[in-house]
Amino acid sequence: MVGHVHLKVSDLERAIEFYRGVLGFEVTQRIGDTAAFLGAGGYHHQIGLNTWESKGGDPPPLGATGLYHTAFLYPSRAALGKALRHLVDSGIQLEGAADHGVSEALYLRDPDGNGVELYCDRPREDWPRDENGDLQMYTRALDIEELLEAN
């Protein structure tokens, strides 16, 4: 299990506004104007943000190594649909949306270019498996309109 992610950002206030205002996390602690910790569901933090080495910096260039994306698990399809509605209403552009058989996922970027996945799992008994019982995940187009209706 992964406990939290800590991201270098170029503008702390802009990053807080995204993770709080768009994704719904709550600021649980700040360290002056250089770092903040955000959580959901009463947890101390799932996200750390800092400008210690990155204030005013640029995103890594394409072709560079680093974090591909951070994924946030939603408790239900309805909750993911509600999050999608909020993204649409906030004017946030999706980079993609996929049905992976085991989950449904939305992909976007934060203001610093960090990849973000919002997803919900399907019940384990519905996960696709082959004749030997081995997991058979896939990537197919996700029906965005149907997900919006699940809200």
Position 77 scores a pLDDT of 97
**Residue-level pLDDT at 3:** 85
Return the DSSP state at 129: B
41 backbone φψ class: left, alpha, beta (φ>0; ψ -120 to 50): left
**What DSSP assignment string belongs to 57-126?**
PPPPPTT--S---EEEE-SSHHHHHHHHHHHHHTTPPPSEEEE-SSEEEEEEE-TTS-EEEEEEEPPGGG
Residue-level pLDDT at 4: 92
Q: What is the pTM of this model?
A: 0.94
Strand partners, 5: 47
Tell me which residues of the chain have a pLDDT lower than 70: none
Domains detected in the chain: 1-55 (3.10.180.10), 67-151 (3.10.180.10)
What pLDDT score does 151 carry? Answer: 77
How far apart (Å, rounded) are the C-alpha atoms in residues 130 and 151? 31
Distance CA 149, CA 151 (A): 5
**Helix or strand run (H / E) with residue 12:** helix 12-16
pLDDT of residue 62: 87
Residue 30 confidence (pLDDT):
97
